[in-house]
Structure 1
Amino acid sequence: MGDFNLTSLIFSIIGGLGLFIFGIKIMGDGLQKVAGQRMKDIIGYLTDNRFVGMGLGTLVTSVIQSSSATTVMLVGFVNAGLITLIQAIPVMLGAAVGTTITAQLIAFRLTDYALPIIGVGSAMYLFGKRKRTKQIGEAILGFGILFLGLNIMSSGVKPLGQSAVVRSSFTRFSHNILLGILVGTIATAVIQSSSVTTGIILALAGVGLLDLRGAIPLVLGANIGTCITALLASIGTNLSAKRLAVAHVVFKVVGALIALILFPLYFLLTIRSSGNLMRQIANFHTIFNITNAALFIGFTPLFARMMKKIVPGKEVVIEHGPKYLAKDLLNTPSIAIDAAKKEILRTLKFTKGMVQDAMDAFYDEDLKKIQNVISREEIIDELQDSITAYLVKITEKEISETEAAMIPALLHSINDIERIGDHAMNLADFAERKIDHGLKFSGKYIEEIKKIELLINEMMDDAVKALPELDKALAKSMLDKEDRINRLVIEYRTAHTERLTNGVCSHRSGIVFIDMLMNFEKIGDHLTNIAQAIQGKLQWNGDDV
């Protein structure tokens, strides 16, 4: 195979690849700190313009340097109901274009300047006074480490380029396109980064082990393999999020098939784009993704409908944002207060659903129910902020003494409802802990949990009915139930201590049981606050929601 040290070769490849991957991560982290959160916020407030969406996807991914990260972010946003499938698809298309920036940077072959770049980045990171200077320094440091790793990796594999056997093996990729795609797909699925795979391809091409005809199938495979990250992220999500992950696969696979059919044309365009092999490979990566995105962007609605056929099922649509808080109502404070009450009742119903889903997840060990709770929690927080801001604006108007006295009661009520949502999140966390650790609960424990849960559900049902009609009798019923909950909690804690002493239950299951009792008790306390508001100053003149 030629004269080279096998140990040195292996160490160079492992160390160089490690530095290369680490450099990409450090650079991405630095860039995300500089502008990443702003980019996420932009995605969260997408318009319905598909071209704007694609542009945002390109911009965000070129900043965070990972199409997988952008797509996973989109899966999360769609699952949470922040954006729709049809809004997410153009961003996903743009992400494919944005990720090609890494390959273009690598093709500049700045390996000779890796150490000075690292020096500049380190100085900015270590000695910078401002936070932003340190963040930019971190990105530059990662950029330099990336090229240092590439240099070490290229130096390590360079002797292989002198081996006729090795060169012959790599030449097979030039003659077996499907094998090249398969290898690129598997490698990227394992590494979970098309940028890393493309970097390795460029390194191999740089030392003469790959020509353009052999590199193109590997690049196509890298584009397909990157879909694995979004597919994994979609496990346990809602239908729309799953459809987006599948859309990502279809987008890449169909694009690769088109590239194979039009291989001579792609090859000719790439050859003419540059006289440098590494630049040609980077250009193919860019040309492929731009062409693919341009092809799909015109058929976004059709593409979204097709995903509904491929991943069938009925979606549960969760509405985000306030439904009743119209700005024009603020000029008539009494009507605006009624609107706020309706929104509070709507929020209470969301919260009731969270508690129900959390307990269903606990009994049935259903991860989807846990995800539902997490998604709803974001909605509750958003509604609390909107309702609070709306009530504050009402206080700035000329209002009667009765209305002025009503505002604090409403503010306290929405805060209590939000806190119930937090406790529902805790209950969902206990369900997840039960699943993850295989915790077992005896029939007696489940019976006790269900008794308290039943009282909590009855209190929440009473609250939903009592609020619209200002039903003081139902409010009194809520207070009576809360007293029963408190008595049961004390009784069950005592019984649990006895069972624990007698070795009837495990310590870990016992901790979860006690924590659940505490959270049920807190939910009862917050519902009591709402009942007291109903009995006191809260007035309700609106219809039921």
Structure 2
Amino acid sequence: MDATLSLLDLAGAVALLLWAMHMIQSGIQRAFGADLRRVLAHAFGNRIKAFAAGIGVTAVLQSSTATGLMVAGFAAAGLVDLVPALAVMLGANVGTTLIVQLLSFDIALAAPVFLIIGVMMFRRSGESRTRDIGRVAIGLGLLLMALSQLVQIITPYEDVPSLRMLLGAVATQPFVALLLGALATWAAHSSVAIVLIVMSFVANGAVSLDTGIALVLGANIGSAINPLLEAPRGVDRTGAQVALGNLLNRLIGAAIALPLIERIGPALVRLDPSLARDVANFHMFFNVVMALVFLPLLPLFAKALRRLLPQRVEAQDPSRPLYLDPAAAEAPAVALGNATREALRMVDVFDEMLQGFGRALDEKTDKQRIVETRRIDDILDRLNTAIRSYIVGLDPESLTEDDDKRAAAILAFTSNLEQAGDTIDRGALATLTRQLKRGLVLADEGRADARLMLEHLSANLRLAATVFMTQDLRAARALADEKAFFREIESKATAAYFRRLRQSRPDAIEANALHLDLLRALKGVNDCLVAGAAYPVLEERGELRSSRLRSQQDSDLDS
């Protein structure tokens, strides 16, 4: 019974430690994610700057995975070469050791202070950044509490026979310890958490220092496995090359260090008699040495990686998302950037649909051309579904208020683009299909109106993309003003249609009805563009009325 309770207590302490790390990372990303991304973007000029930026950004984020996702996003956009991307990851590996160094000192008494300050900032402040910093302080307090609890639990937990057998096997086989550390880090998705746990075990005598060093080597390898497994599988393999390079760096270092453990341990003890600090020091020394060794060799290393993972040339499925990297879900700024790029792909696909409709307006068009254009709507539907699922899958706790607004803007834009595609498919193209089936000929006036609307739609699509990206108020007003142009053309066409009805010309009635249906469909397409891009901006700035009707007060004044 006591052993079971000890196991349960240990599992709870580890879970608290992992949750505290999550709170720290999500709070920092919400508060400073955009600023850190800008810092990283300006550091790709050379290897030294990229290395330093990797240290700084990761030291703040406390997640080399999050830094790697940012780098992968830049690489996918073609903004960074493989060499500086690898330099950033070398810096990120060093950056993760800094929090371990800090927590290797006995600062457990500061846990209540962090918790009190964090709760006060989180509960009393109306500013989102202050609340996020409060979240970080709460996470630090919980982290210190979890570490303190681990130290108290390890002694009775060490007496469990099954654990004693496992620790005995690990202590006699450094390679087994390395594998155990790699597996635990892969499962926890946090090398920092595993190294902190190893420090607690070593400090309390549950495992020897040599075994702790082997476990730390495994933790360094395990932290490089997930980025490789989650790397995008598309044509652009730069992100996968960076992840593979990081893993090879760790494997080479571990292969060199593992046979030397018996010499490394005593050397660390001579530097500092504290065993917990020895584990932290080895973790830092290992990553610093690997960075110093590999930094000058990165051009040759990058060349070898390009040979191992060459860029693939394959037939592209237009309905398959290119930028929705699942691994980026841990970094909301990167994930929303990916979703934005995929939304711009939808703009290109819809522009192709408009061009296909323009070709279908030709008098010599056939059913096959219309069918090919209608298939493009299926691409829009699948891309919109993928973007929606991607954004909905993001962790709400890691999203800032600005992130929430951006996510809503992306969903509004893509949903209305999909609706615009449906309107072309079921409205405009369906009308042309009826025209072909009934052998009707669209009058020159009707064809001219449709082409004029189509020209404005092409221009408005580009303007909608601009508004979506820049959130510019003037551009949003210009796009919304286009609705008046489409209403005017529809009104004139409707008036002409009723004049022909009064003139009793049955031969032209059906053809003119098709003309009117066509214009209404195109007007509906423009309404979708305005609703998806202009209205969210105008509504946020207070520039949008709730109704086009005049108020009763204005009517009374006129009367």
Q: Same fold (TM over 0.5)?
A: yes
Distance in 2 of aligned mates of 1:256 and 1:68: 20
Equivalence for 2:508: none
What amino acid maps onto 2:457 in structure 1?
A: H
**TM-score of the pair, normalised by structure 1:** 0.61
Contact 1:13 1:157 in 2 (8 A): yes
Determine the C-alpha separation between the residues in 2 that align with 1:52 and 1:37. 19
Structure 1 residues 208-287: aligned runs within 5 Å: 208-237=205-234, 238-287=236-285
Equivalent pair of 2:198/2:215 in contact (CA under 8 Å) = yes
How far apart, in 1, do the equivalents of 2:232 and 2:461 lie? 38
Amino acid at match of 2:427: I
SS in 2 for 1:48: coil
For 2:50 and 2:424, locate their aligned partners in 1 and report how far apart those are by CA, in whole Å. 55
Does residue 70 of the first structure (1) align with residue 67 of the second (2)? yes
- The yes-or-no answer on 1:80 pairing with 2:77 is yes
> Deviation of residue 20 (structure 1)?
0.7
- d(CA) in 1 for partners of 2:65, 2:289: 19
Quote the residue 1:26 is aligned against. Answer: 23
Q: Secondary structure at the match of 2:13?
A: helix
Match of 1:490 among 427, 431, 441: 427
Q: Which residue of 2 aligns with 1:527?
A: 458
| Aligned residue in 2 for 1:144 | 141
Q: What is the number of residues matched between the two proteins?
A: 378
Identity among equivalent positions (%) equals 26
What is aligned with 1:292? Answer: 290
The alpha-carbon deviation at position 89 of structure 1 amounts to 0.7
Distance 1:420 1:178, change over 3 A: closer
Find the aligned partners of 1:170 and 1:426 in 2 and give their Cα distance. Answer: 61
| Deviations 1:507-537 (CA, angstroms, capped at 9, x unpaired) | xxxxxxxxxxxxxxx9986326699xxxxxx
* Alignment match of 2:158 (pick from 161, 181, 198): 161
Contact map agreement 1:46 1:83 (CA 8 A) in 2: no
Structure 2 residue 92 is matched with structure 1 residue 95:
yes
Structure 1: which 5+ residue stretches go unaligned? 317-355, 383-417, 429-444, 456-484, 497-521, 532-545
The offset of 1:264, in angstroms, is 4.5
| Structure 2 counterpart of 1:361, one-letter code | P
Q: CA deviation at 1:452?
A: 4.1
Aligned counterpart in structure 1 of residue 121 of structure 2, from 121, 124, 141: 124
How far does residue 149 in structure 1 lie from its aligned partner after superposition? 1.8
Cα separation, 1, equivalents of 2:171 and 2:312: 46
Q: CA deviation at 1:126?
A: 1.9
CA RMSD of aligned residues (A): 4.0
CA contact (8 A) 1:36 1:63 kept: no
Cα distance per residue 1:10-32 (max 9 Å; x no partner): 32122211211111111222333
Matched, 1:450 2:372: yes
Inter-partner Cα distance in structure 1 for 2:132 and 2:47: 32
Q: Which amino acid in 1 is paired with 2:15?
A: G
User: Are the aligned partners of 1:104 and 1:283 in contact in 2 as well (CA < 8 Å)?
Assistant: yes
**Following the alignment from structure 1 to structure 2, what is the Cα–Cα distance between the partners of residues 150 and 69?**
23
Partners of 1:130 and 1:309 in 2: how far apart?
Answer: 50
TM-score (norm 2): 0.59
Equivalent residues of 1:154, 1:204 under 8 A apart? yes
Distance 1:244 1:113 in 2: 38
How far is the alpha carbon of 1:121 from its aligned partner?
1.9
Per the alignment, do residues 523 and 141 of structure 1 end up closer, same or farther by CA in structure 2, a change over 3 Å counting? Answer: farther
Q: Which amino acid aligns with 1:85?
A: L
Please list, as runs of the form range in 1=range in 2, the aligned pairs for 1:464-479 lying within 5 A after superposition: none
CA distance in 2, matches of 1:246, 1:102: 25
Tell me, yes or no, if the aligned pair for 2:177 and 2:214 is still in contact at 8 Å: yes
Per-residue deviation at 1:158? 2.3
